Amino acid sequence: MQSIPKLLAALALLVAASSCEHIDNKAVPSFNVRIDLGSYALWNTYGVNGMGDYRIFDRSKNLPANYPFNVNTYTGYGGVLLMMGLEAPMAYDLSCPVEAAYNITLSINPENFEAVCPKCGSRYDPLMGAGGPVKGVAINNKVGMRQYRVLPSNGGYVITN
């Protein structure tokens, strides 16, 4: 008789695990990422501080202006979005995961901090939803923004993949 409750518990666990939706955050091709904001001075100048504060890094567009890009700086496939979350900075590729094209990049809606694709209209939550989809084709396709690591370093951070 004791095996029936264990069997039911295992069955419930199996159903719960299979019903979880998996969001593919690797739809955008993997390209090198390395942005060194690893000193207090660089972070103070080019970093983000308050929740929702964001900055775009795109070497091909020289963004941000006056950032000291060098041979070791890489800004991913479509550029990098650096955004301050609730407790720590977060970084994502700017290419729309639905379109997966380097030249179709997301913009940030300053009212709700959603990342919006100008072509497919999909919306993502980089602030509190780990870049997951919140509206549009991206929900049906189950794709989210490619996230990068933001590692503490000498009073600042280094963004890498």
Instruction: Give the tens place of pLDDT for each residue, 84-117.
Output: 998 899 999 999 999 999 999 999 999 999 999 9
pLDDT at 4 over 90: no
pLDDT at 26 over 70: yes
Cα 100 to Cα 36, 62, 63, 133: the distances in Å are 25, 22, 21, 14
pLDDT at 121 over 50: yes
116: which 2 tokens?
A: 């919006």
Provide CB contacts within 8 A for 64, sequence distance 6+: 46, 55, 56, 57
Instruction: Give the tens place of pLDDT for each residue, 43-75.
Output: 999 999 999 999 999 999 999 999 999 999 999
% of the chain residues with pLDDT over 70: 87
Distance CA 148, CA 59 (A): 16
Q: Where are the beta strands (DSSP E) in 20-137?
A: 33-37, 54-57, 74-75, 80-84, 89-93, 107-108, 115-116, 123-125, 132-135
The predicted model gives 126-131 an average pLDDT of 92
Q: What is the CA radius of gyration of the chain?
A: 19
| Model pLDDT, residue 14 | 38
CA 83 from chain centre, in angstroms, equals 9
- Per-residue confidence at 21, pLDDT binned at 50, 70, 90? low
Residue of 94, 116, 118, 89 whose CA lies nearest to 28:
94
The predicted model gives 123-149 an average pLDDT of 95
Distance CA 14, CA 46 (A): 46
When the pLDDT of each residue in the chain is averaged and rounded to a whole number, the result is: 89
Go through the domains of the chain in sequence order and give each one's CATH number.
23-160 (2.102.10.10)
